[in-house]
Amino acid sequence: MLPVNAVALRALRGFRATPPSLQRRLFSVSTVRPNEKPQQSFKSQLYESTQQRLKRERTEQERYAQLQTQSPGGRYAALMFALVFFSGSAYYLGSLKPAALPKSSTSSLADIDAPPHNVSPSNLQAAWADFIDILGKENVSTALDDLELHAGSDWSSYSHGEKERPFLILYPSSTEEVSRIMKICHQRVIPVTPYSGGTSLEGHFASTRGGVCIDFGRMDRILGLHKRDLDVVVQPAVGWEDLNEELAKDGLFFPPDPGPGAMIGGMVGTGCSGTNAYRYGTMREWVLSLTVVLADGTIIKTRQRPRKSSAGYDLTKLFIGSEGTLGLVTEATLKLTVKPQSQNVAVASFPSIHSAAECVTQVVEAGIPVAGLEILDDVQMKCINASQSTSRQWKESPTLFFKFTGTPVAVKEQIGLVQKIVSKTAGRTFEFARGEEEMQELWSARKQALWSVMAMKRSPEDHVWTTDVAVPMSKLPDIIEATKEDMTQSRLLAGICGHVGDGNFHAIILFNESEKKVAEGVVHRMVKRAVEMEGTVTGEHGVGLVKRDYLEHELGESTVDAMRRLKLAFDPLRLLNCDKVVRTEQPAAGEIKEW
């Protein structure tokens, strides 16, 4: 038999050889039981946990009684062993220094471990009880229909997996409730997916790590309108269409206009724009300040309300386009402008997509301040006619849609200048509206682009892939023509539309599972062309899951590593909208496409 000191020393050496992660587990009580059934109720788990604790206490009492019957020498040896072992362990753990702070300015994937999330049933069910205390039972949903609705959509380019859906949906009504939710998720290391209007296209709200989904649907109020300052404070679930309807009563206007149904929270998240971007700019130009809940529940406000400020870092623009990966927007102060005195719409058709794009270039070079400049190719126009989604039949050829705003005299002048350029660039027809009703009719085709292609589905198994890129204006005719040719060769039903006034266009592709690889190839080549033409992989849809691996090709590895460092600074546990924008875990083999 070994002496007591030798036994203790051997035990201590064994402990030091144990990996640090296992050491931590040896000195903590696990909240996950090996034989736990996912379907157990929280009450059952609590009862079982109590029974196990009582059983453990009885075992300890029996052990203590047995120890009392041992000989003095045996008791002494056991006590010495325990004393040496735990004293040595305490010394070892006390000698460990905290992890050193990173010394580099960026974080590569090789520098970080996998996220430490805890999505065990017991942890989620315990959090469930906490959430009910905050929101009330009626605002915490586990209904299967709700979970599926919040996992993805028919119009998203990303097809979510069966396990990529949240455990439950939370419906807060205030910044304070969102903060309390995040404090629980941070304490329990539960991933969170934010959800606003659900109109995003690149997999932005797929719950890739499970966890919980925060739906901001109840936060839909206009909190304050400052007419003389031309700004408004809103919650994230205010829709841009509803906002403009309310603002019109005071002769005011909020310009960004993405797809129907989009809400301010999601619009901030993706840094969207819309048909008015050529004249008025994107979402980044129309947000003054944000109230944001950070990953640990901290509430911050990025700025006050003045139109200009040079005070500190511009956190407002940092959160715009961050897609909910750095913080959750709970209030936004938006800039407004005066609604134009007059507006009109014109439509022109062309013999080819290249001639239509050339007309766009000449309109931009002439400096004509049109409010919107949109393109739909011949396939899109055919889909609109076939789906009967508008009240008229259209020429099935590449078509430009112009929007004019300003004084009545200025609008009339702009229409005349554009009409001359259309004639010079082989335009076949030119028609402008003569009244409000006709104006709505002419513009309706542009707004029906996506829905008209979805109406062409051959079966419920068909999918729609909607994506966008943007290039410098001088490169626009070339990339549109090359993409159009690629789509034709693919033999897929695929159309082109977009906000070509600022070099941004979209592809809408219909495909089924057997055609998926072909569709992926078309999109991949489209993105690659844009990057090689000094463009961007997304003009307004955002990165999400679908575009994240293209960022390195557009911006460079070190730039993406700098973005990853920002993500880790604001969200060190990687809880917020996991896996979007930049990866925070090594990809699986073959997951990234060859460039």
What CATH number labels 222-338? Answer: 3.30.465.10
Which has the closest alpha carbon to 166: 123, 205, 129? 205
Which stretch of DSSP H or E encloses residue 224? strand 222-226
DSSP codes joined into one string, 143-171: -HHHHHHTT--TT-SS---TT-S-SEEE-
Q: Quick one: DSSP state of residue 591?
A: -
Sheet architecture: strand order including 140-141: 140-141, 168-170, 212-215, 192-195
Q: Give the 3-state secondary structure of residue 272.
A: coil
Q: Quick one: DSSP state of residue 338?
A: E
Q: Quick one: DSSP state of residue 536?
A: B
Domain 342-532 fold: Vanillyl-alcohol Oxidase; Chain A, domain 3 (3.40.462)
Q: Which residue has the higher pLDDT, 263 or 162?
A: 263
Measure the CA–CA gap between 211 and 201, rounded to whole angstroms: 21
The answer on pLDDT for 430 being more than 80 is yes
Question: What is the gyration radius of the CA atoms in the chain, in angstroms?
Answer: 30
The domain locations on the chain are: 4-98, 121-215, 222-338, 342-532
Question: Tokens 């119009």 identify what position?
Answer: 155
Helix-strand-coil percent breakdown of the chain, rounded to 5? 45, 15, 40
Residue 55 is predicted with a pLDDT of 65
Number of Cβ atoms within 10 Å of the Cβ of 592: 13
Residue 259 is predicted with a pLDDT of 85
Q: Quick one: DSSP state of residue 139?
A: G
Residue 58's Cβ-count burial label (10 Å; 0-12, 13-18, 19+) is: exposed
pLDDT digits (tens, 9 = 90+) for 555-578: 999 999 999 999 999 999 999 999
Q: Which residues lie closer than 8 Å to 14 by C-beta, 6 or more apart?
A: none
Q: Which residue has the higher pLDDT, 188 or 87?
A: 188
Which has the closest alpha carbon to 167: 216, 126, 136, 196? 126
Measure the CA–CA gap between 469 and 541, rounded to whole angstroms: 9
| pTM metric for this prediction | 0.81
Measure the CA–CA gap between 405 and 499, rounded to whole angstroms: 17
Helical pair 121-135 and 175-188, crossing angle rounded to 10 deg: 160
Report the sign of the C-alpha dihedral through residues 25, 29, 31, 36, in that order: positive
pLDDT digits (tens, 9 = 90+) for 517-528: 999 999 999 999
β-sheet bridge partners, residue 374: 401
Residue 585's Cβ-count burial label (10 Å; 0-12, 13-18, 19+) is: middle
Residue 117 is predicted with a pLDDT of 97
Average pLDDT, the chain: 87
**In Å, what is the CA distance from 349 to each residue of 275, 400, 453, 585?**
18, 6, 20, 48
The answer on pLDDT for 220 being more than 70 is yes
Residue 68 is predicted with a pLDDT of 46
Please, are residues 293 and 575 in contact by the beta-carbon 8 Å criterion? Answer: no
Q: Which residues lie closer than 8 Å to 243 by C-beta, 6 or more apart?
A: 222, 232, 234, 254, 264
222-338 has the same fold as 121-215: no
Alpha-helical segments (H) within 195-323: 240-247, 264-270, 277-280, 315-319
Please, are residues 278 and 373 in contact by the beta-carbon 8 Å criterion? Answer: yes
What is the tally of helices (H) and strands (E) in the chain? 20, 18
121-215 classified as CATH 3.40.50.1820: no
Residue 385's Cβ-count burial label (10 Å; 0-12, 13-18, 19+) is: middle
Residue 590 is predicted with a pLDDT of 81
Q: Quick one: DSSP state of residue 419?
A: H
Tokens (6 digits) for 213: 């989904």
**In Å, what is the CA distance from 242 to each residue of 120, 260, 262, 263, 403?**
40, 10, 10, 9, 21
Helical pair 121-135 and 42-69, crossing angle rounded to 10 deg: 120
Residue type, position 158, single letter: Y
Measure the CA–CA gap between 48 and 44, rounded to whole angstroms: 6
Which has the closest alpha carbon to 264: 206, 316, 331? 331
Report the sign of the C-alpha dihedral through residues 273, 279, 285, 291, in that order: negative
The answer on pLDDT for 31 being more than 70 is no
What is the pLDDT confidence band of residue 75, given thresholds at 50, 70 and 90? low
Please, are residues 487 and 541 in contact by the beta-carbon 8 Å criterion? Answer: no
The answer on pLDDT for 23 being more than 50 is no
Residue 78 is predicted with a pLDDT of 55
pLDDT digits (tens, 9 = 90+) for 327-340: 999 999 999 999 99
How far is CA 299 from its chain centroid? 20
